[in-house]
Chains A and B, each alone.
Chain A
Amino acid sequence: MANTLSIIQAINQALMNEMKNDDTVVVYGEDVGIEGGVFRATVDLQKTYGKERAFDTPLAESAIVGTAVGMAINGLKPVVEMQFSGFSYPAFNQIISHVARMRNRSRGQYNLPLVIRAPYGGGIRALEHHSESTEALYAQIPGLKVVIPSTPYDAKGLLIAAIRDPDPVLFWEPKRIYRAFKQEIPEEAYEIPLGKAKVLQEGEDITIVAWGAMVPDVQKAVKMVEEKGISAEVIDLRTIAPMDRESFIESVKKTGRILVVHEAPKTLGVGSEIISIVNEKAFLYLEAPPTRLTGFDTTFPLPRGEKHYIPSPDRIAKTIQDIVNY
């Protein structure tokens, strides 16, 4: 059976499916129980599966993640929520020092099948600390997987795969497009493999890599440049770590050009890594300098300034033309 859902609804359905399929899945965090999450990602979980498996916690991110480590060691599959990715820093020590390391530290004795979900990214006119894109902070840490969906179909399939994955996954959700559009997706559980990018559109002149909320903006920009005769190949990276390198290496070998678009700051962002890989693996195929179009190396501005921060479709379209006409 199919149903038509937004990203946030697809995430909720993924959690519903997995709580039904697997008694060891537990969901908790701040306001995830009675309230069903500030964005409604966990709505009705407590009603359906009870207070023992879907519950509210005291307001303490380090304990939310730290107890999830203990639960995972003791045979459960916790799916915990950081209310916003910008609130994950109190849990940084637990994530970096334990979530990422327990398998290696114990030489495989304790793997941690846990998921940390968090809404990330800007563009919703939010308060300070509610708009950051922090995927690169976590993607550099060995032992973590970082996943970012951009559609309802992917959100559900990737989240189910993340919950079933034997290793810890940070599941960063693009809140700007939580409700931007709906898609027909299966009601039952299905998996989309982690670590695999998706070619959204094939093209000849340029490869564009993006993820999360930048994907629909890239698609808009690509429509604009199509009218000018530019054929772009669009890749949704989907898993930031470990990254599907082949997807863009092969694409660049065909197009000779690459643009990475992300919301996070430019310096030492994920785009830097992608371009380094392209330089290492497809250098001789390049016809233009590999390019990044990203957020600024600034603090994410409060709402009256945020329109300047996130690369707009117009700016993406202009950058595509600059690269193709290099």
Chain B
Amino acid sequence: MRLEDYNPMKNEMYQVLDPAGKIVLEKDVPELDDEQLKYLYKTMLYTRTIDEKALSYQRQGRMLTYAPNLGQEAAQVGSAYTMKKEDWMAPAFRELGAWLVRGVPLKNIYLYWYGNEWGSHMPEGVKVLPISVPIASQMQHATGIGMANNIKKEKNVVLTYVGDGGTSHGDFHEALNFASVFKSPVVFIVQNNQYAISTSRKIQTMSENIALKASAYAIPGILVDGNDIFAMYNATKAAVERARNGEGPTLIEAYTYRLGAHTTSDDPTKYREDAEVEEWSKKDPLLRFGEYLKEKEVIDDSWIDETKKELEKEVKSTFESIEDKSDTELEDIFKYHYEEMPAQLQDQLDEYRSFLEGGK
């Protein structure tokens, strides 16, 4: 596909697979074999299973605050699947599908949400930065990583994510501007899930869409059906190729919908109508991809059932492997602030330790 064929100024949206699971753009069906297609579907299903289980654990009081990805699986999995192992990813905090594709183990993900920093310490070779809570701030890191690539003459690229709310931030503007000026090899993905907690996308910006903002930075911007895994994969792939060829950054708006809550701490029925959620449920990315794959006889219902059961088992055993076993080591709270622990910090640790020992 060619990014420039879709003009965000005219609100043109790129779509390959429609909500019914029908191909609407035959020439753009990606050349992926059955194993790859199954992997993509399975990863989306894995994402959803991890969410469902986390929400259930949270309701049982076994998990802390959790940010679900329900409805955004295609935007995450499809985009991240374009990356090579040596590429970088700078996430926000709602990119579960992308983390899984990039090789972040579920154990890390659950450990993070369970409240232990070791969740953000990635296995060797997994070039995914820790979750970044301050909105849009990670876009600057992605830009800097890319600038360093240019200086070091390295060809790897950077994928970073932000939400629709994040596009109101100064860091969104600054990062796009720097990335453009320095031709930083970054693909910026805006997961426009229509809400920043309770605030509708409609009042984040008066722009008709977010992709058109790219024109202010003289970089390509494209509006993509974020619930269409093929469209997300193709558009990101094109943007990644541009970046790898030294042509600079691209802004992709993944037009999607957060079917669940912002986090387990909010109640979306307070700020949106059930009818709206129902309408978007029909556009569920898993549903349409499943229909397509069944139609193509790549998978069938019994494969889905079996896979789902297998994933549920894995999620359950992973959660149980960390549950009640993940309290932070006292020394860990202190020892990672500097390469060498300053004397005042050592004193505070020693004092507290002696209090704990004296209390026994």
Footprint of B on A, CB under 8 Å? 26, 52-53, 57-58, 60, 62-63, 65-76, 78, 90, 93-94, 97-98, 102-111, 142-143, 145, 166-167, 195, 242-243, 245-246
Contacts and interface: CB of A to CB of B under 8 A. Distances in A.
A65 B342 CA distance: 24
Contact of A90 (B88, B129, B170, B339): B170
Interface residues of B, number: 44
B151 A52 contact: yes
Contact of A70 (B118, B141, B181, B338): B141
B134 interface: yes
Contact of A107 (B143, B152, B336): B336
A66 B137 contact: yes
A109 B144 contact: no
Given A62-B171, A93-B137, A105-B120, A195 B342 contact: yes
B142 interface: yes
Given A70-B90, A73-B129, A107-B120, A62 B145 contact: no
A299 B344 CA distance: 31
6 tightest Cβ-Cβ pairs between the two chains A and B:
A70-B144, A66-B140, A67-B144, A242-B342, A74-B148, A63-B174
B332 to A, nearest CB: 7
Given A66-B174, A70-B145, A94-B137, 10 more contacts: A60-B174, A66-B139, A68-B144, A70-B90, A93-B171, A97-B134, A103-B336, A103-B337, A105-B117, A111-B339
Contacts of B120: 105-107, 109
B228 to A, nearest CB: 30
B144 A71 contact: yes
Given A53-B151, A93-B137, A107 B178 contact: no
A76 B145 CA distance: 9
A103 B338 contact: yes
B181 A58 contact: yes
A244 B143 CA distance: 37
B264 to A, nearest CB: 22
B200 interface: no
A93 to B, nearest CB: 6
A142 B338 CA distance: 9
B178 A58 contact: yes
A231 to B, nearest CB: 29
B178 A69 contact: no
A74 B149 CA distance: 8
Residue from the set A57, A62, A110 with the largest chain B CB neighbour count within 10 Å = A62
Nearest to A141: B337
Contacts of A60: 170, 174, 177-178
Contacts of B337: 103-104, 142-143
Nearest to A114: B144
Interface string B315-351: 0000000000000000010001111001111000000
Contacts of A142: 337
Interface in B114-142: 117-118, 120-122, 129-130, 132-134, 137, 139-142
Contacts of A97: 133-134, 137
A70 B134 contact: no
B134 A104 contact: no
B190 interface: no
A102 B137 CA distance: 13
27 contacts: A52-B151, A57-B178, A60-B178, A62-B174, A63-B140, A63-B171, A63-B178, A66-B137, A66-B139, A66-B140, A66-B171, A67-B141, A67-B147, A69-B141, A71-B147, A72-B144, A74-B149, A98-B137, A103-B338, A104-B336, A107-B121, A108-B336, A109-B120, A110-B129, A143-B337, A166-B339, A245-B344
